[in-house]
Amino acid sequence: MKDFSKELTYKTSRSSGAGGQNVNKVETSVTVMWNVAESECFSIEGKEMILEKLKNRINAEGILQLTVSESRTQLQNKKIATERILEIVEKSLFIPKTRKATKPSKSKIEKRKKANKHLSEKKENRRFKI
């Protein structure tokens, strides 16, 4: 995972929710912004993957934004926002393994047929014969 935290910019605003009078006075909510297109940490392919997978989180200017206002302190919210944006980008770069279609082996097919045959014979023997 590449650390692109130097490319992040932060903006603060007044938070809503718990905090009493602190909420009305202090700007504790933190918005972290990252310009994906101008990033120097990722290759062109990496940027394309990020833009594709996070297209609903990236605005028209190509900026990935994330707002955090969980904590009562600006410093804690900044830390949470940085961790989250790094985690989101890391997840968007994950390439899942391709599934390879496989067939059951001949011995497994034979074993299944044998078990079915045995079961049908057992049921056949239960029948009332005249």
Read off the pTM. 0.68
DSSP structure string for 61-114: TSEEEEEE--SSSHHHHHHHHHHHHHHHHHHHT--PPPPPP----HHHHHHHHH
pLDDT of residue 108: 96
From 55, 36, 56, 57, select the one nearest 47 (Cα to Cα). Answer: 36
pLDDT of residue 123: 92
H or E element that contains 34: strand 29-35
pLDDT of residue 18: 64
Question: Per residue of the chain (130 residues), what is the pLDDT tens digit?
Answer: 677 778 888 988 887 766 666 666 777 889 999 998 888 888 889 889 988 998 898 988 889 999 998 888 889 999 999 999 999 999 998 888 999 999 999 999 999 999 999 999 999 988 877 6
Structure tokens at 58: 């990236």
Q: What structural domains and CATH numbers belong to the chain?
A: 5-92 (3.30.160.20)
CB 54 within 8 A of CB 21: no
